[in-house]
Structure 1
Amino acid sequence: MAVEQFEHASEATPLSDVYSLAVMVYLMVTGRYPWGEHHSAVALYRRQLDDPPDPAPTTPPGWEDFVRSALSPDPQQRPRSMQEFVYPLAVQLMASAPYKSGLEILRGSRGGGRPARRTTRRCGGTATTAAWPSDAAAVRGDPTAGVSISFAIAPRTRRSLWCAR
């Protein structure tokens, strides 16, 4: 829960969601919650007063400032939108890791050729699509070429309440 929601839940904004996603990213990268125990009263109090803690020293370069800004107790100091948070996150991931490209992974999963039938995942009325750099961009050494991330909100229907497979 974002800091601004502690006293007044009605003050929640999309920036509160950015904060929540930053907590999840911090947990995934470090293996722990930013301020210790997630639900303890001490952790809730520390979120309001303390600066966001440094991620583990093993985190990739550039992540520390990025995650710390998204964990700011002041909503105006956070990224202004989810796209503004997710795009640099994707760029950092691609620039810091010697992983296979998305195309290599998709080809490997089906033995070559075309990707699986559905590459967009729908769950609860929201569709998320991510396109990663092409193999040609990776060869040129440009980790950001060809990157596009899009979010689309679809109306909720009874059928969309279940995640499509």
Structure 2
Amino acid sequence: MSVRPASAKSGKKYFETFYVGAEGTQYFIKPLSLDSDESGEELLVDVTFRYKDEVRDSAIVNFSVIGREIYKAIESLRIMNDGVSISDTHPELIFNERKNDEFVSRFATKLPLGKVKELFENDEWQFQLYTDKGTITFEPTGKASKAINVLNEKVFVIM
């Protein structure tokens, strides 16, 4: 059974909500697209977390790097804007697959929900991946910037 709050209707193309009983509501932020000018690669990032009446847990952040390189490991990542910087070492590789002439390298990590909330307060993200091939910086596309702002107004504002 899932129950969608009325506020989810206007932003439903950016997120989904699911009632999970005593644990409150589970939120799924649909993939946001970020691009790297230097490598020509695309990064898709989605976020899943639970919230009831206070911020007290972590968010699962999944991301896929799409491009001509295959990534079997990420040494560390940093996501930042003017207000916050979040770092993590060794995100977990979920899978690698080939799609036509590109590779999809999918990773997952857990980050503090309070910091993720702060991240959504400003859409000028830099998502940096540190790999054995160097550092890659991704920034939101115009559509992703719009989505970040809507998500802040519809989801993160309630926390």
TM bin, normalised by shorter chain, reads: under 0.3
| Structure whose residues are more often strand by fraction | 2
Output the TM-score relative to the length of structure 2: 0.23
Output the TM-score relative to the length of structure 1: 0.22
| Structure whose residues are more often helix by fraction | 1
Greater RCO (Cα-Cα under 8 Å, separation 6 or more): 2
Bigger Cα Rg: 1
